[in-house]
Amino acid sequence: MNKIIRMEYETPEATTIDILSGLSEICVSAASVESFIEDDELEW
C-alpha cells in the first residue's frame, strides 16, 4: 500500500545549489509522502 509520490524539483543540474547563477534550487531530487495506514474499525 505504500504508494510513493515523487516530487521532482525542476533542477536542470539536479543536486546542488547554484549560487553563482543566482538561482537557488532545492536540491531534492525526489521526495515521498507517507501513505496512511488503515486500522481496524472502531468497536463501539
Contact residues for another protein, defined by CB under 8 A: 1-3, 5-10, 14-17, 19, 22-24, 26-44
CB 43 to another protein: min, Å: 6
Q: How far is it, in rounded angstroms, from Cα 21 to Cα 28?
A: 18
Could you give the 3-state DSSP secondary structure of residue 9? coil
Q: What's the closest the beta carbon of residue 40 comes to another protein, in angstroms?
A: 8
Least distance in angstroms from the C-beta of 4 to another protein? 8
Number of C-beta neighbours around residue 18 at 10 A = 13
